[in-house]
């Protein structure tokens, strides 16, 4: 469906996943790529998005842009998390349909699943029980996005696919101590504790110049730097991490996520997911040249009763493997070459004890991860060190 000359719009092409998808497409020879920074195009602005689609008319769209943040941000800005994400999704998906985009890939998150979903979490666990309260608004927005894709496919015969990645890490990750995710935060803490022990103040100051902590940079007084780092459990040859270290987590290298996303974009159709051959041409009145007839609006209920209820058409993307936070810390310690101690503060919360996804559907569609966590942690630390040079 998409050839090497197809124009592909990657929304969020500067982000962790969007940048990796952009690079993956380039490596495969898809060079007709379009990207806009947030300053260049505000995806919450309906008229601006419409003008962009009028001008560029992409053949395919990857919606990797989102309003994101950690647990604190999700708690403080609940209205922003649901409204900003809903606006972006509604604008991009509706304009994609209006401009006859051939293929759309929507990126979500496994936070869409209920807080107490059975493990490993299958796609059909969606909407079976309450969500985790702390990120409920973000999850609801992402559920709405995947339902938009599903519903447009069922009503209009479009080819919009939603993928739900597990915890991601990799190049361009966020290492800011105040709001980064568990792995990059842990890695930076261990690295800084090693530097304090080594007395390498040049490296410490360079680190803080690039990523200040609570306004303290490399130019701050040494005692002030040590005091602010201590707030985050970073000491001389010692790191204190939150919780017991027993929760299990699954991690996927961001470049693997990009490869899975591009694989789905290029090779997987909605008909593959629901198991119906020639779905669009049979049920959606495709014209003789293969284009969907927009005037032939078909609803699932009356038109295809034999299919029953079609739902949960999204695809989990992960490794299907997990490790404890303590085991993760051991991999980080090894990668950094840290010889100090790592302690866990059991008075602090653990969060959800287990968040493993079932990747059977993904494997059946022809893709399996390549980077194992042991290699990925080492690769991430090498990237982090390079980012400081």
Just list the catalytic residues.
138
Q: How far apart are CA 352 and CA 231, in angstroms?
A: 23
Q: From 126, 118, 115, select the one nearest 316 (Cα to Cα).
A: 126
Taken in order 262, 268, 269, 274, is the CA torsion positive or negative? negative
Q: In what order do the strands lie in the sheet with 60-63?
A: 33-34, 8-11, 60-63, 103-107, 160-165, 315-317
Q: How far apart are CA 279 and CA 297, in angstroms?
A: 14
Give the up-direction half-sphere exposure of residue 320: CA atoms within 13 A in the CB hemisphere.
13
Residue showing tokens 């800084």: 192
Neighbouring C-beta atoms of residue 58, cutoff 10 Å: 24
Q: In what order do the strands lie in the sheet with 354-355?
A: 323-324, 248-249, 354-355
Taken in order 181, 183, 189, 191, is the CA torsion positive or negative? negative
Collapsed DSSP state (helix, strand, coil) of residue 41: coil
């Amino acid at each position: 469906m998409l050839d090497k000359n197809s124009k592909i719009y990657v929304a969020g092409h500067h982000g962790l996943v969007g940048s990796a998808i952009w690079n993956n497409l380039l490596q495969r020879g898809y060079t007709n790529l379009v990207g806009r920074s947030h300053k260049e195009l505000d995806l919450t602005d309906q008229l601006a998005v419409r003008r962009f689609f009028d001008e560029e008319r992409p053949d395919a769209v990857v919606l990797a842009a989102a309003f994101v943040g950690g647990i604190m941000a999700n708690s403080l800005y609940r209205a922003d998390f649901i409204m900003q994400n809903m606006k972006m999704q509604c604008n991009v998906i509706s304009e994609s349909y209006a401009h006859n985009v051939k293929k759309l890939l929507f990126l979500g998150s496994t936070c869409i699943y209920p807080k107490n979903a059975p493990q490993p979490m299958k796609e059909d666990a969606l909407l079976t029980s309450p969500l985790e309260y702390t990120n409920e608004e973000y999850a609801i927005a992402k559920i709405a996005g995947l339902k938009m894709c599903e519903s447009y496919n069922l009503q209009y015969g479009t080819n919009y696919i939603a993928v739900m990645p597990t915890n991601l890490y990799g190049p361009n990750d966020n290492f800011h101590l105040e709001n980064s995710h568990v792995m990059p935060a842990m890695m930076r803490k261990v690295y800084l504790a090693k530097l304090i022990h080594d007395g390498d103040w040049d490296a410490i100051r360079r680190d803080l110049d690039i990523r200040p902590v609570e306004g303290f940079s490399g130019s701050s007084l040494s005692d002030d730097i040590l005091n602010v780092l201590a707030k985050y459990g970073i000491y001389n040859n010692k790191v204190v991490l939150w919780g017991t270290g027993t929760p299990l987590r699954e991690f996927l290298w961001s470049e693997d996520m990009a490869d899975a996303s591009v694989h789905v974009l290029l090779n997987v159709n909605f008909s593959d997911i629901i198991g119906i051959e020639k779905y669009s041409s049979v049920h959606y009145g495709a014209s003789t040249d293969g284009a969907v007839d927009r005037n032939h609006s078909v609803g699932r209920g009356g038109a295809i009763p034999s299919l029953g209820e079609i739902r949960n058409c999204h695809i989990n993307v992960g490794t299907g493997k997990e490790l404890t936070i303590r085991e993760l810390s051991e991999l980080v310690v090894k990668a950094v070459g840290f010889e100090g101690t790592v302690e866990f503060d059991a008075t602090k919360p653990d969060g959800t004890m287990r968040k493993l996804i079932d990747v059977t559907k993904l494997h059946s569609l022809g893709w399996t991860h390549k980077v194992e966590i042991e290699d990925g942690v080492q690769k991430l630390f090498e990237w982090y060190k390079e980012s400081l040079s």
